[in-house]
Amino acid sequence: MTIHKEGYKIIAGSTILFGIINILSFYFMSFSLPWLSWFVFIATLGLLCFIISFFRVPNRTMTIREDAIVAPADGKVVAIEEVNADEYFTDRRIQVSIFMSPLNVHVNRNPVSGTVIYNRYHKGKYLVAWHPKSSMENERNSIGYNKEGKEILVKQIAGAVAKRIVNYLQVGQQVQQGAEMGFIKFGSRVDLLLPLDIKIRVKIGEMAKGGVTVIAEW
């Protein structure tokens, strides 16, 4: 396991703050209120461990398959439904939504190999990630992929807690399935918009692993 580059500054700042708080706590409370000093230490240590864990990148063997679309994110599959596409596409599509809790790995990965044909950032609201309108009204970044003439769209969607979406791709770029394409900080959602004739291989409630779980097959 490694730590993602998006976490370096936040972890460094959190570690310094952890040290300052506990030095002051020890100096002012360790003799008169030792139980409170220990409480502060344990609480701040737990918070620091959580922040470090949030930026973890576990070692994984990625699923590389020409006929498969893999999960772009870790999380729970919360929706599989036919929708009217509201961006890039103008037809009906199958939408698969993955909810990422603050405890999930938050690296986002390319679901397919191919060419980036669309990449657009949208300012928006911060509705809770499972809200039905979050995919249309929340802050988000949308990425279109073309794989041998077949196109899909992925939306990185901010939630009530997530306040920053990072995307590393550019239009025209050739990408590999399972490689990093972005990061969303502190809980969010990722939507896939897929062709109607796709074969869905997950169920609602299933836990997906980014770059590993097969969401659908061509």
Which residues, at least 6 apart from 78, have a Cβ–Cβ distance to it below 8 Å?
Answer: 97, 98, 99, 130, 189, 204
Active-site residue, selected from the candidate residues 37, 97, 135, 188 = 188
CA 13 to chain centre: 22
Task: Determine whether 188 is an active site residue.
Answer: yes
Under 8 Å between Cβ of 114 and 146: yes
Tokens of 177: 């399935």
d(CA 160, CA 69): 28
Q: For CA atoms 209, 210, 216, 218, give the dihedral sign.
A: negative
d(CA 116, CA 207): 27
Which amino acid would we find at residue 13? G
What are the catalytic residues? 188
